[in-house]
Structure 1
Amino acid sequence: MEKPLVLVSHAPPDEIRDALAKHIGDEASVRFLPDLSGPERDTALRSARAVITYHPIRDLGIDAIALLDNCQLIQCLTAGIDYLPLSEIPPHIPVAYNAGAYAEPMSEHVVAMALAASKRLTVEHNNMRAGDFNQFLPTKKIRGATCGVLGFGETGREVARLMRDLGMRIEALNRSGTTDEEVDFIGKLDDLDRVMAAADVLVITLALTRNTDRLIRSEHLDRLKPDAVLVNVARGEIVDEDDLYRHLIENPSFTACLEAWWIEPVRHGKFETKHSFLDLPNVIASPHNSAMTDGALVVAAKRGAENVLRMLRGEGARFLAGDDVRML
């Protein structure tokens, strides 16, 4: 019996190429589209049962996508796919995002930002440069404080595990309002006000959807404690940019740790902000690089490949994009 074909849309580095082939093993044939040309390429497109890709429109093109007669899954290797024009994918082909592919490095980044903000590391570094030595100025205590997690998927749960190890209480929101994880409270987005008010550290790991676009606005930010720390490793658009800047100006004890931005090079071709966030002392910034640790891309490739295998085995692929994530 002929093995099903898994087609990889791009030419990854050798370590990722090897990881994909090894993980899929004997359950399917793996071919890489840039290695093919002419009739062989068209035949592969028509026969592929699954496509692994970073960006199906860019990597394949509309004409090639139209040839995917036998395709039962497009597996994206990115954790978020809100920037993809999914309306250009034939409706009979499910598209899966790679949820939690980078959960471990991202959760470490969250903890680093939250601790740096809570312990005023960047603020006091700048104060010392100016000659101030604030030895007796209190900082935020983490043990016994509350970490609110908006979005309790793979990454949110990994954040909670690390924060719990630091002695924090966990209040979290997800779609179902249920979880098997050890938490002090679990709710749905209807409980947003409660979690915002309780959080000493608020972590955003939500996917950007029609329901979460500009979810956090002034009325929600005003519910935060005056010295709360907000950490956004999801998408900038989940927080209203104007309202966040205004809240930072009006509440100097509040800190925003921004890893995700409203306009970024990968999604928009440039980095740009409407306001001078980087000039504020109560902002800690990073260039959306929380996932970029050694070996992280290999791990993500393996997790994407595992979801493809679930589909091929008849177990059903996970993390399929619904109508709410079809942003473009």
Structure 2
Amino acid sequence: MTPQVFFVTGSSTGFGNELVKRVLDEGDAVIATARQSSKLQFHNANKNNYLAVDCDVTDEASIENAFSKGLAHFGRIDVVVNNAGYGLVGAFESLTDAQIRHEFEVNFFGLVNVTRKALQVMRDLNKEPQGGRILQISSIAGHVGLPMTSMYCASKWAVEGFTESVRNEILDEWNIHFTLIEPGSFQTDWLGRSIVMADEHPAYPHLPARQVWADMRGKEPGDTVKAAKAFWDIAKLEKPPLRILLGSDAVAFMQKKLKVYGEWVEEWGPFAKAMDRQKTDQKAGNPLDWKMI
């Protein structure tokens, strides 16, 4: 099989760093991006399979430059992995407006801008074959609201809705497939350098964020090396799923969420249905026709 070219954001640590290693080990090529890509080092990298490029996902010109350099080097990009992101931790009232906006600039708007460029490249520039794969590194936090991570959760919920919507806009003939990867807690740098702690708020002594996160570090159940292998495997699927959970804790969260949603719809469904007009001359579009899974 012809080696594929991966474009990975946030390659300096965690999932991104492990994925670059996996891509190289599997014989594929990779454009590894980071804000300071000169610091990246991979033992089996060479000019034929590896290109390190600076990329700040909050800067559209930087994104454009990274794609341009990757295309000039390899000629195409088959898999884009939107991995860049970080956690903002603290009670909502302890977060500043600047902190909140920056969280969204990186976790959501950065992903949006990379996705926009990826679609254009895969549809208009990739030939024989056209298309590609876009892996959005979301989180189980894109489905549940966890205390002390309100803006991180909000950014991931935004990623989920955005990706599901765009997936329903593109034509099948473009051969572009999205997958939302929803990890639970993994031993990445998320609890280390990839986290910003807000100052504590006097009204929330019951939420000692710094202590809670310090106690969690090193106890995450997920294996980052296994996750990177899963990313690579998913990118190779002919028909990848729109969503995939990673980690036993992610599965447990989702099972509980679905149970709660089922009970909620059962209880309040009749109330909701009673809001319909008794008679209507128009048929509403059926949302169940959309590709939601």
TM-score over 0.5 for the pair:
no
TM-score by length of 2: 0.36
Q: Which has a greater percent of helix?
A: 2
TM-score by length of 1: 0.33
User: Which is greater in Rg?
Assistant: 1
